[in-house]
Amino acid sequence: VPVEPHFVFLGIHGGKLCLSCVKSGDEMKLQLEPVNITDLRKNSEQDKRFTFIRSDSGPTTSFESAACPGWFLCTALEADQP
């Protein structure tokens, strides 16, 4: 769901589960949380963990966690890779 030009929330199952990035100790982790995507607000500190910054560069799109700067969603070129 677009929030503003480069900020997005990512949800599945009709927006009832949303991807979040949270810090657990010294590690960052991605998780799905049961929250309605339409209830999230872009300027809320509480909802920051659900916010990703979308950047397009040629054929590549990246999503950086707003809550954990420097952490990105990415894919590998080969199948079954982390």
Domain boundaries, the chain: 2-73
The residue type found at 66 is: A
For 39: left if phi > 0, alpha if psi spans -120 to 50, otherwise beta; the answer is alpha
For 36-80, how does the pLDDT look when each residue is reduced to its tens digit (9 = 90+)?
999 998 778 889 999 999 988 777 788 999 999 999 987 666 766
d(CA 47, CA 28): 16
The residue type found at 32 is: L
Tokens of 30: 């991605």
State the CATH architecture for 2-73.
Trefoil (2.80)
DSSP state of 36: -
Question: Over 60: is that where the pLDDT of 2 sits?
Answer: no
Q: In this structure, are residues 36 and 50 in contact, taking their beta carbons and an 8 Å threshold? A: no
For 7-42, how does the pLDDT look when each residue is reduced to its tens digit (9 = 90+)?
899 999 999 999 999 998 888 899 999 999 999 987
